[in-house]
């Protein structure tokens, strides 16, 4: 059984979905600390005026608040409505915007309380469009023993909790995870080495690392094949 353990980010990039599509179980890593001004609450889209960062305000919480407990702030305005207007203006001329407009408009029209709820709804919607059938499990719902600073054992325990003997992780994790420890516990680990593909895109020269909305609205049913074309796994 293969799994990927990823934090629920806002409007993830296409490499995120390459990882989910490559495994049997996607563990939504939501019981760990929320990081302000990170991908947890923001991401980039391409607009007629260049790349724009869409960032969601959240309620002030204590330093060690878990991702699953973070709430969206509506104190000054409804940023979800504003984000949708920016997305609509940026992609309404794209070839496949009308195909998926109602799906995302519905999500953005709701007043979500928790940031994770919104993020997972968007991730799930994109997975459905891409025909990714990977099972979602939340780390907050799995009994795990806390090994403190040992991230290797924490992830190994999560894998074992869902019956996984293989974990597919982001390349950045290679710097702090020990492959030998995973192997000694009967869990194989591989890291993503993604080569970002070029696809049809509005507004000038191609810019990589946009939200996956960018490829969906521009490439439609071709999106999954393009996403998979960047796949490269390292041991």
Q: What is the pLDDT of residues 64-74, one digit of tens each?
A: 899 999 999 99
Name which residue leads in pLDDT, 147 or 95: 95
Instruction: Answer yes or no: is pLDDT of 23 > 70.
Output: yes
CA of residue 111 relative to chain centroid, distance: 20
Instruction: Answer yes or no: is pLDDT of 172 > 90.
Output: no
The DSSP call for residue 217 is H
pLDDT, residue 92, reads 97
Which tens digits make up the pLDDT trace of 178-218?
999 999 999 999 999 999 999 999 999 999 999 999 999 99
pTM for this entry = 0.95
- DSSP-derived 3-state class of residue 58: strand
Pick the range with the lowest mean pLDDT from 54-58, 143-147, 163-167, 202-206.
Answer: 143-147
DSSP 17-48: HHHHHTSSEEEE--SSBP-TTSTTTEEEEEET
Compute the distance between CA of residue 187 and CA of residue 172 in angstroms, rounded to an integer. Answer: 19
pLDDT, residue 61, reads 78
Instruction: Answer yes or no: is pLDDT of 150 > 90.
Output: no
Instruction: Answer yes or no: is pLDDT of 232 > 80.
Output: no
Q: Half-sphere exposure of residue 161, counting CA atoms within 13 Å on the CB side?
A: 18
**In Å, what is the CA distance from 85 to each residue of 40, 51, 66, 89, 213?**
21, 15, 30, 6, 14
Mean pLDDT of the residues in the chain = 94
Q: At 148, is the pLDDT very low, low, confident or very high (cuts 50, 70, 90)?
A: low
Mean pLDDT of 68-97: 96
Q: Return the bridge partners of 2, or none.
A: 166
**In Å, what is the CA distance from 92 to each residue of 79, 88, 108, 171, 213?**
19, 5, 16, 34, 12
Mean pLDDT of 146-171: 88
Find the DSSP H helices in the chain: 14-21, 79-91, 97-109, 115-129, 151-161, 179-184, 212-219, 223-229
Q: At 35, is the pLDDT very low, low, confident or very high (cuts 50, 70, 90)?
A: very high
Q: Return the bridge partners of 227, or none.
A: none
Question: Residue 115: which region, alpha, beta or left (left: phi > 0; alpha: psi -120 to 50)?
Answer: alpha
Q: Are 43 and 53 in contact, with CB atoms under 8 Å apart?
A: yes
């Amino acid at each position: 059984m293969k799994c990927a353990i990823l934090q629920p980010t806002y409007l993830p990039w296409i490499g995120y979905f390459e990882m989910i599509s490559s495994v049997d179980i996607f563990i939504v890593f939501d019981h760990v600390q929320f990081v302000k001004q990170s991908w947890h609450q923001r991401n980039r889209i391409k607009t007629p005026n260049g790349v724009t960062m869409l960032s969601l305000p959240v309620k002030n919480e204590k330093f060690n608040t878990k991702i699953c407990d973070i709430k969206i702030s509506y104190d000054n305005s409804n940023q979800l409505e504003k984000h949708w207007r920016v997305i609509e203006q940026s992609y309404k001329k794209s070839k496949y915007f009308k195909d998926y407009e109602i799906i995302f408009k519905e999500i953005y029209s709701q007043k979500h309380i928790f940031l994770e709820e919104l993020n997972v709804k968007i991730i799930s919607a994109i997975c459905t469009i891409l025909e990714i059938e990977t099972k979602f499990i939340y780390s907050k719902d799995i009994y795990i023993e806390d090994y403190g600073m040992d991230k290797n054992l924490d992830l190994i325990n999560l894998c074992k909790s869902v019956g996984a003997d293989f974990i597919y992780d982001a390349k950045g994790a290679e710097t702090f995870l020990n492959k030998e420890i995973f192997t000694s516990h009967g869990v194989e680990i591989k890291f993503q080495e993604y080569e970002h593909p070029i696809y049809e895109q509005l507004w000038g020269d191609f810019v990589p690392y946009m939200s996956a909305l960018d490829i969906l609205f521009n490439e439609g049913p071709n999106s999954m094949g393009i996403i998979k074309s960047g796949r490269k796994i390292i041991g």
